[in-house]
Chains A and B, each alone.
Chain A
Amino acid sequence: MTKFNRFLSLILLFCAAPLSALAIDSQDLPDIKEGFVTIKTIDPTQRVGYTVGDVIEREVILTIKAPYTLVETSLPIKGYEKRYRGQVIGIELKNIHHKKDVHKDYTTHHIKLAYQVFTNSVVAKNAALGPEYLNLINMKNNKDLVKYRIPSLDIAISPLAIFGAVKVENNMSPMLGPLLMANTQEKQWLKIALVILAISLLGLLYILGVHTWLPRMGGPFASAYRTLRKTPNSAEGLKQAVSKLHLSFNNTAAMSVFNDNLDTFLAKKPSFSPLKYEIQQFFALSRQVYFEPNATHDIGNNPSKWLVQFARRCRDCERGLTPTPLDTKAGA
């Protein structure tokens, strides 16, 4: 060996030394002292009935207090086959997802582990997920390298089919519920159907309620009030407004209402009795607008505005309410 080769070998030895230190088998390291690590696991509720191909997920939440920190290279490696006493046990880490939240005094690690079963047996047998060993290092003392053991999760692996003459009842476990068909899609269709049914029922109620959402909401005077509010304050608008109100009276009474049968109308619809004088005023206005331009009325100079208020009071009567007090300035 030449001098140069010897020098190169030395450099390679120095470079490889730290890696070899990290590659130390975690199980050989001392355990971390209590109080520095807290663990929380979210394990699957099903512990039995797994068979070849099943994927089992568990989540580990570790909180590591300073000055210790996780050596992330010690996290389990995807595809690593678990062994027990050198024998492959048939549980393989299929996937790992790691996320950490670093705080001043501690760090929280969320580690999601997905194991897949690659073994089977003619009879049920025990198996375990883990344990996993993680390396932690003291940031203030590089030589203080310790391990933390994530406890294993015991599961049972079931055979794919019953082998031989087996009495099923003896093999049943109250821990294993019946296998159910996936019904997610059906549930979604059911929800959509229920929504459509609810909308249809609302529509039916609307139609049965004579196009009203509330009782008497779509009455003739309610409709007239809405129309009159949009009617222009002009001679033509006044004619339309009077005509609309006449129509409302006729529809309410199911007969043509005139000044000379007003008492009949009030007898049929006593809720309008408080408005008797105003109804007479309305007929006087109608007389002037439609029949006798020379006729007088005592409504005032702004009959359109008065009619809107009158329609609203009629609507109140129609709904069985006490009429809204009249704005005395309306017709002025």
Chain B
Amino acid sequence: MSANEKSVITEELRAWIGRTSPVQPLELLSASDVRRYVDATGDANPLWLDDDFARSLGHRGRLLPPLLVGWIPFSLKEQEASDKLASFDLRRQLPVPENYTNVRNAGNETEWLKPVCLGEQLSSQSRIVDVVERRGKMGTGIYITQEERVFNREQDVVLLRRHTIALFPEHKFGDEEKTGGDR
């Protein structure tokens, strides 16, 4: 970016780097949620479906599929929060320019530190770790990276995730441009 070009990252936006949500309890997932996951993916692993099988391997009961550990449905992520830091998805609270409506999944890294059983109460905490701009063929993108920590009842961290989304100005995609599509 040349010195004359104005950055899309304002001081107000930059000020979000390092902001951390309070630790918040997550909605308890049910056997029905897991069944819907299995229906959607075909992942009928007995570890997620059969308590006796899971116990035979030393677990307290059936495990949550790894993708469902720290799972937050979009309906909750999109909820308006009066306290922005108490939102389940801090990234949605950031003051990005209004025309930055195209959201792309720019990658994620997840680490599972302990298995989690169905019915375990989990809680999570999020932090904005980076906000940067990058120029590409779709214009200037704003890349927001959020780190999430998920805790079990003993306050052990069971999952760590870093997820980056890229926001671009409103634009019709060509088939070559659009990637993951998921936020």
A binds B: no
User: A residues within 8 Å of B by Cβ?
Assistant: none
User: B residues within 8 Å of A by Cβ?
Assistant: none
